[in-house]
C-alpha cells in the first residue's frame, strides 16, 4: 500500500509518504494560482507518478476563497420577508462602544437575494406554498443573474425538507445547489443560512479543483480532510465544501493528538506556524471541536476543530505604520515572491529574513539543503528597514522577532488564559515549518516550562492526513424537554441518525462492524439560548454531566429543567496504523558545525536532528536542523530526544 498525506499551505506544500513500513517527507513551494500543480510536481519528485496511490489531502481552496472573497456568483433563496437575513445576522457589534462603526458589506448583494413561498410554521405547518408564480420568478432571476450556484434556506427546514426539495426540483441541473436541510438541519436560521450560502459560494470551486486533481492522478484514490478531523472521499467532498474550511489545520491537530498521546503528553497547548499564518489550539488527548467557529467575519456552525488563527507566519511582512512603529503581518510574502532570502524577487522584510540574519536559520541547510537562502538579500532588506527605524540591522531583526512572538503569545493566551486555564499546566507543542524557531520564546512568554517539538513537526499537518480516520458528523434539531423523553425515545432517534451515517460510510466501502459510533446531545437550561454538547449516557447521567459542565464553564449551575436541542452522531472508520518514529541513531551526535548567533556571545553548536540518539540531551543555545524545519534551542532550555525522535524541551533555568 502506498499512502500519501498532502497539506497545501499558503507558502509550502507538504508531503508525507508511507510505503513498505517506512516514512518519507518532502516539501516544496506552493502554486497558489493552481494548487494541484504543486501536488502533482511533488508526486513526481517522490517518484510516484503513475503509481496506484491512496492520497489524503488537506486543501486551502475553500478557505482562501472565503477569506479573499472570491466565491462564485450565488443566488440566495429564502422565504418572503427574509431576504436580508444574512445582512442583519445577529446584530453583534465587533466594537461594543463604537457608536459609529464602519459599515460592513453584506455577504450577498441585495439583487442576489430572492424571496419565495414554501414557508413552514414552528410546528411544521405549511403557511405559504411554493407555487407556479414562485417558479417563474426563480427562473427569471436565474436567467438575469446567471449564477453558478444557489443556496436555499427556508424557515424551519429542519422540521420538513419537502419545501426546499420542491425548490430544488425546478432548478437547472448544471447549477450547484445547496439545501440548508442537507447542509445543517438545525435551528437558528441565520447560522443555518450562512453555512448553506458558504457551501454554495465555494462549492463549485472545490469541486472543480478536486476534479482537476483526480484527473491528474488516474487510478488513485483521493480523500480529503474535513474541518472536524475526519476524512471523506473526494467525490463527496465538493457537496459539503463548508466542512473543508479548516481542512489543513485539522490535520495538524489530529497528528498533534496522535503524537502527544504516544509521548505521554495529553494536555497540549499547540501552535502551528507556517509561512502565512499561525494556528493555536488546546488538546486534551484529542482535538476539541466547536460549532461556534468563524472563518473571517462569517460564523460557521458545522463541527470544526476549536482553534484560533492569526496572520503571523514565517512569511509575515514587517512594516512601519504612519507613526513609525514597527508592525509585523498580517500580510504575507507567500510563496511568490516569498521572503527576500528566497531569492525570488521579494524585497520586503519577513520573519524568516529576521531569523536568518540573526543566525538561527542555516542558509545552506534549508529544506535539507535543497534550497539555498540568500543572506545578502535578507540583509539588504533588513538594512533598509533599520535605516527607516533609526537602529542597527540586528536590532531591527530582533524587533521583528519580538513582535511576531507577541502576536503568537497573545493568540495562545486567547485560547487558554481567557478561558480560565493556566498555560503552565500544559505542554507547548510547536509544529509547522517555522514553529521550532519560536517555541522557547513563546513558552517563556506564557510561563511554561515544558515544550514538545514532535518528530516530522515541519510537515505535521500532512502526517495528520495519514493517521486521520474516515468519518461523518451528523446532527438534527429535536426541541423537547429532556424530562418529557424516555431513554428509549432518545436512543431510537439517535439510531436513526446512526443508520444514515453508516449508510454514508458504506458508500466509501467501510463496513458497519468496522465503525465506531459516538452519540451526544446539545442541552441547555430552559430559557437559555446556547447549549453544551454532552455525551449520551442515559437521561439521568447525561443531565448530571450537563450540570457539572455548566458549573465548570460558567461558574454556576441552576435548578431549572433541561431542554434537548440537537441530536449529534459521529461515526469513524478504522485508521491506518503507521509508526512515525525516526530510525534511531547508534550513538549521540556531535555538532556538525559551530556558527555565530547575533545575540549570543559564544559560538553555537548546530546538530542534525536525524543523527541524534534516543536519550541524548542538548543544552541551549543550539540549532537543531532537519529536512523540513529548524529548532532554535534558546539559552536556559534543555532538549532530550525520546525513543520516537521527539524533542522534549524543559526549562532548566526558571528565571523567566
Judged against a pLDDT cut of 60, whether residue 57 lies above it is answered with yes
pLDDT for residue 192 is more than 80: yes
Compute the half-sphere exposure of residue 354: CA atoms within 13 Å on the CB side of its CA: 29
Exposed / middle / buried, residue 517 (Cβ in 10 Å: 0-12, 13-18, 19+):
middle
Give yes or no for residue 328 having a pLDDT over 80.
yes
pLDDT digits (tens, 9 = 90+) for 162-181: 999 999 999 998 999 999 99
Mean pLDDT score of the chain: 91
Mean pLDDT of 504-526: 95
Residue linked to cell 436541542: 565
CA geometry: angle at 70 spanning 65 and 73, to 5°?
120
As separate numbers, helices (DSSP H) first and strands (DSSP E) second, the chain gives: 16, 35
Q: CA 237, CA 246: separation in Å to the nearest integer?
A: 13
pLDDT at 312: 83
Q: How many residues does the chain have?
A: 656
Angle between helices 35-45 and 189-215 (to 10 degrees): 40
Report pLDDT digits (tens) over 579-617: 887 777 778 888 888 888 887 777 899 999 989 999 999
**Contacts of 420 by beta carbon, 8 Å cutoff, 6+ apart:** none
Residues 439-473: tens digit of each pLDDT = 999 999 999 999 999 999 889 999 999 999 999 99
Residue 655: predicted pLDDT: 46
Superfamily, domain 2-67+207-247: ATPase, nucleotide binding domain (3.30.420.40)
Cell 493566551 belongs to which residue?
Answer: 413
Residue spans of alpha helices (H) in 425-538:
439-445, 460-467, 487-507
**Does 386 score more than 60 pLDDT?**
yes
- How far, in Å, CA of 300 to CA of 294, rounded? 5
Strand spans (E) along 236-378: 267-273, 278-284, 286-287, 289-290, 293-295, 298-300, 304-305, 307-310, 316-320, 326-332
Q: How far apart are CA 279 and CA 289, in angstroms?
A: 14
Q: What is the C-alpha to C-alpha distance for residues 566 and 522, in angstroms, rounded to an integer?
A: 5
User: Under CATH, which architecture does the 469-572 domain have?
Assistant: 2-Layer Sandwich (3.30)
Say yes or no to pLDDT of 513 above 70: yes
pLDDT at 423 over 80: yes
Rounded to 5 degrees, what are φ and ψ at 391?
-145, 180
Which pLDDT does position 654 carry in this prediction? 57
**Cα-only R_g, the chain:** 26
DSSP letter at 47 equals T
Q: What is the pLDDT of residue 656?
A: 43
Enumerate the domain spans of the chain. 2-67+207-247, 74-202, 316-404, 469-572, 593-651
Please give the backbone phi and psi of residue 647, each rounded to the nearest 5 degrees, phi first: -100, 115
Q: How far apart are CA 510 and CA 522, in angstroms?
A: 28
Say yes or no to pLDDT of 500 above 90.
yes
Which residues lie closer than 8 Å to 578 by C-beta, 6 or more apart? 3, 18, 23, 466, 467
- Alpha helices (H) along 222-288: 234-237, 247-262
Q: Over the stretch 201-257, which tens digit does the pLDDT of each residue have?
A: 999 999 999 999 999 998 899 999 999 999 999 988 989 999 999 988 899 999 999
Query: Which residues have C-beta within 8 Å of that of residue 500, sequence separation ≥ 6?
Result: 474, 569
How wide is the angle at C-alpha 409 spanned by C-alphas 404 and 414, nearest 5°?
130
Cross-strand partners of 641: 647
Q: How far apart are CA 337 and CA 615, in angstroms?
A: 41
d(CA 363, CA 343): 12
Higher pLDDT, 94 or 550: 550
User: Pseudo-torsion of CA 385, 386, 389, 395, nearest 10°?
Assistant: 130
| Percent of the chain scoring above 70 in pLDDT | 100
* pLDDT tens per residue, range 267-306: 999 999 988 888 999 998 889 999 998 888 899 999 999 9
Least confident of 210-214, 306-310, 413-417, 488-492: 306-310
Topology classification of domain 74-202: Rossmann fold (3.40.50)
Instruction: Look at residue 311 and tell me whether its pLDDT is greater than 70.
Output: yes
Answer yes or no: are the C-beta atoms of 192 and 152 closer than 8 Å.
no
- What is the tens place of the pLDDT at every residue in 542-583? 999 999 999 988 889 999 999 999 999 999 999 888 888 777
Determine the Cα–Cα distance for residues 567 and 569; give it in Å rounded to an integer.
7
pLDDT of residue 170: 92
What DSSP designation does 306 have? -
**Short-list 314, 244, 245, 255, CA closest to 281:** 255
8 Å CB contact between 38 and 60: no
Show Cβ contacts of residue 273 under 8 Å, excluding neighbours closer than 6 positions: 312, 313, 314, 408, 430, 431, 432, 433, 434, 435, 438
pLDDT of residue 597: 84
**C-alpha dist (Å) from residue 635 to 95, 351, 451, 641:** 41, 20, 14, 18
Of the listed ranges 237-241, 333-337, 392-396, 434-438, the one predicted with least confidence: 333-337
The three grid cell numbers given for residue 560, joined into one nine-digit string: 431549572
What are the tens digits of pLDDT across the range 1-45? 799 999 998 778 999 999 988 899 998 888 888 889 999 999 999
Residue with cell 536568518: 356
Q: Tell me, what's the pLDDT at 281? A: 94
pLDDT above 80 for 92? no
Q: State mean pLDDT over 76-81.
A: 97
Amino acid at each position: 500500500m502506498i499512502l500519501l498525506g498532502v497539506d497545501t499551505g499558503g507558502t509550502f506544500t507538504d508531503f508525507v509518504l508511507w510505503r513498505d513500513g517506512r516514512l518519507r517527507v518532502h516539501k516544496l513551494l506552493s502554486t497558489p494560482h493552481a494548487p494541484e500543480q504543486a501536488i502533482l510536481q511533488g508526486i513526481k519528485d517522490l517518484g510516484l507518478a503513475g503509481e496506484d496511490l491512496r492520497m489524503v489531502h488537506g486543501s486551502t481552496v475553500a478557505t482562501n476563497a472565503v477569506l479573499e472573497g472570491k466565491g462564485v456568483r450565488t443566488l440566495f433563496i429564502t422565504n418572503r420577508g427574509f431576504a436580508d437575513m444574512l445582512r442583519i445576522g445577529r446584530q453583534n457589534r465587533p466594537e461594543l462602544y463604537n457608536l459609529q462603526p464602519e459599515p460592513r458589506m453584506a455577504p450577498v448583494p441585495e439583487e442576489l437575494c430572492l424571496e419565495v413561498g414554501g414557508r413552514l410554521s414552528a410546528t411544521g405547518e405549511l403557511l405559504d406554498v411554493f407555487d407556479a408564480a414562485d417558479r417563474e420568478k426563480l427562473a427569471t432571476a436565474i436567467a438575469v443573474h446567471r449564477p453558478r450556484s444557489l443556496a436555499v434556506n427556508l424557515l424551519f427546514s429542519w422540521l420538513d425538507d419537502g419545501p426546499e426539495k420542491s425548490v430544488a426540483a425546478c432548478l437547472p441541473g448544471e447549477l450547484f445547489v445547496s439545501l440548508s436541510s442537507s447542509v445543517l438541519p438545525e435551528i437558528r436560521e441565520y447560522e443555518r443560512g450562512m453555512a448553506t450560502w458558504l457551501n454554495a459560494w465555494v462549492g463549485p470551486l472545490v469541486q472543480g479543483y478536486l476534479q482537476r486533481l483526480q484527473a491528474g492522478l488516474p487510478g488513485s484514490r483521493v480523500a480529503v480532510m474535513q474541518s472536524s478531523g475526519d476524512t471523506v472521499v473526494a467525490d463527496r467532498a465538493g457537496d459539503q465544501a463548508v466542512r473543508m474550511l479548516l481542512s489543513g489545520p485539522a490535520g495538524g491537530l489530529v497528528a498533534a493528538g496522535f503524537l502527544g498521546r504516544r509521548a505521554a503528553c495529553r494536555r497540549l497547548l499547540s501552535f502551528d506556524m507556517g509561512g502565512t499564518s499561525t494556528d493555536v489550539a488546546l488538546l486534551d488527548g484529542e482535538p476539541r471541536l466547536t460549532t461556534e467557529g468563524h472563518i473571517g467575519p462569517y460564523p460557521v456552525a458545522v463541527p470544526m476543530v476549536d482553534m484560533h488563527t492569526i496572520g503571523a507566519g514565517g512569511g509575515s511582512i514587517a512594516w512601519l505604520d504612519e507613526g513609525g512603529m514597527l508592525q509585523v503581518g498580517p500580510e504575507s510574502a507567500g510563496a511568490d515572491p516569498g521572503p527576500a532570502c528566497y531569492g525570488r524577487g521579494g524585497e520586503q522584510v519577513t520573519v524568516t529574513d529576521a531569523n536568518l540574519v540573526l543566525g538561527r536559520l542555516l542558509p545552506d541547510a534549508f529544506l535539507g539543503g535543497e534550497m539555498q537562502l540568500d543572506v545578502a538579500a535578507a540583509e539588504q532588506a533588513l538594512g533598509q528597514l533599520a535605516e527607516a527605524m533609526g537602529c542597527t540591522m540586528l536590532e531591527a531583526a530582533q524587533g521583528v522577532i519580538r513582535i511576531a512572538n507577541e502576536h503568537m503569545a497573545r493568540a495562545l493566551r486567547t485560547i487558554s488564559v481567557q478561558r480560565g486555564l493556566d498555560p503552565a499546566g500544559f505542554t507547548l507543542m510547536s509544529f509547522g515549518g517555522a514553529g521550532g524557531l519560536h517555541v522557547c520564546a513563546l513558552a517563556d512568554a506564557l510561563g511554561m516550562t515544558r515544550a514538545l517539538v514532535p518528530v516530522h513537526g515541519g510537515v505535521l499537518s500532512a502526517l495528520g492526513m495519514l493517521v486521520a480516520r474516515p468519518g461523518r458528523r451528523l446532527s438534527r434539531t429535536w426541541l423537547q424537554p429532556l424530562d418529557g423523553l424516555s431513554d428509549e425515545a432518545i436512543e431510537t432517534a439517535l439510531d436513526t441518525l446512526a443508520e444514515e451515517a453508516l449508510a454514508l460510510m458504506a458508500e466509501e466501502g467501510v463496513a458497519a462492524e468496522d465503525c465506531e459510533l459516538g452519540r451526544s446531545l446539545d442541552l441547555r437550561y430552559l430559557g437559555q439560548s446556547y447549549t453544551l454538547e454532552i455525551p449520551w449516557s442515559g437521561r439521568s447521567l447525561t443531565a448530571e454531566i450537563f450540570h457539572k459542565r455548566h458549573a465548570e464553564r460558567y461558574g454556576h449551575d441552576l435548578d431549572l429543567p433541561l431542554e434537548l436541542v440537537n441530536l449529534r452522531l459521529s461515526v469513524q472508520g478504522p485508521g491506518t496504523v503507521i509508526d512515525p518514529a525516526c530510525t534511531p541513531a547508534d550513538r549521540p551526535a556531535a555538532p556538525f558545525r559551530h556558527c555565530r548567533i547575533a545575540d549570543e556571545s559564544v559560538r553555537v553548536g548546530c546538530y542534525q536532528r536525524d543523527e541524534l540518539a534516543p536519550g541524548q540531551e542538548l543544552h541551549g543555545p543550539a540549532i537543531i536542523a532537519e529536512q523540513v524545519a529548524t529548532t532554535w534551542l534558546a539559552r536556559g532550555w534543555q532538549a532530550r530526544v525520546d525513543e520516537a525522535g521527539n524533542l522534549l524541551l524543559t526549562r532548566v533555568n526558571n528565571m523567566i
